[in-house]
Amino acid sequence: MGIESFTPILNIPQVAILGIGSISLKPIMKEDKVQFIPHVGLSLTFDHRAVDGAPAARFLQELAITIAKFELKNI
């Protein structure tokens, strides 16, 4: 839907919900050159009564690492 980022609302009895924004090209410096790399915004809303912030942050970190390693292959 073209939404760059958003914050999802948690509905009881959910413990967490992940918001995934649109993929957009962002400029980064790589080897003294500007390259446009696909980026996606992630937003995690979670219930602090059920999940501490540290495990939630580790989940987002692992998800970001996994997405960064993802390769599309031509079928």
Q: Does any domain span residue 25? A: yes
In which band, very low, low, confident or very high, does the pLDDT at 74 lie, cut at 50, 70 and 90? Answer: low
The whole domain housing 14 covers: 1-48
Q: Does any domain span residue 38? A: yes
Provide the whole-model pTM. 0.72
Catalytic residue among 11, 13, 29, 48: 48
CA 62 to each of CA 2, 18, 42, 49, 68: distance values in angstroms, whole numbers, following the listed order: 25, 14, 12, 22, 10
CA 22 to each of CA 1, 25, 27, 30: distance values in angstroms, whole numbers, following the listed order: 8, 10, 16, 23
Active site annotation includes 48: yes
Does the structure show a pLDDT above 70 at 72? no
Q: Does any domain span residue 68? A: no
Q: How many residues does the chain have?
A: 75
Q: Provide the number of structural domains found in the chain.
A: 1
Q: Does any domain span residue 57? A: no
The per-residue pLDDT for range 35-52, each reduced to its tens digit, is 998 888 899 999 999 888
Instruction: Please state, for a pLDDT cut of 90, what percent of the chain lies above it.
Output: 52
The predicted structure's pLDDT at residue 45? 93
Q: Does any domain span residue 3? A: yes
The predicted structure's pLDDT at residue 10? 92
